[in-house]
Amino acid sequence: MNVEVDPVLCESHGQCEFAAPEVFSLDDEAVLHIDHGPVENVREAVHRAARACPTRAIRIAE
């Protein structure tokens, strides 16, 4: 499972951090960081993050 976020589309809503905090986190400047390490362990949460993203910036390749 490969997770990518389009930096142009991302507007730092933070929905992904709520859905899958193991993978997605905003820093204090509201810049999004992705930790690819835990992705396989929280697959459903990552899918939920992609669904919840208002700008549809998260792309998942299985």
Partner 1 sequence: MRIVVAGAGLAGWRAAEALRAEGFRGEIVVAGAEAHRPYDRPPLSKGLLTGATAETALALSESDTADTEVTWRLGNPVAALRGRTVVLEDGEELDFTGLVIATGSTPVIPAGLNRPPGVHVLRTLDDARALRADLTGRVLVLGAGFIGCELASTCRDLGLPVAVADPLPHPLIRVLGEDVARRVERLHRERGVRWLLGTQVVKFLGRDRVTGAVLSDGRAVRADVVVIATGVRPATGWLAGSGVDVSGGVRCDEYLRVLDESGAVVPDVVAAGDVACWTHPLLGEAVRVEHWTTAALGAAAAARTLLHGPQAPFDAVPSFWSDQCGLRIQGVGLPGRGEHVELVHGNLAGDKFVARYSTDGRHVGSVAFGLPRQLALERRRLTSA
Q: Is 21 in the site for partner 1 (CB under 8 A)?
A: yes
Q: List, as one string, the DSSP characters of 2-58.
A: EEEE-TTT-----HHHHH-TTTEEE-TT--EEE--TTGGGGHHHHHHHHHH-TT--E
Of these, 2, 7, 8, 27, which contacts partner 1 (CB under 8 A)? Answer: 27
Residue of 26, 34, 42, 43 interacting with partner 1 (CB under 8 A): 26
Q: Is 30 in the site for partner 1 (CB under 8 A)?
A: yes
Evaluate whether 41 touches 25 at the Cβ level (below 8 Å).
Answer: no
> What residue ranges bind partner 1 (CB under 8 A)?
11-15, 17-18, 21, 26-28, 30, 48, 51-52, 54, 56
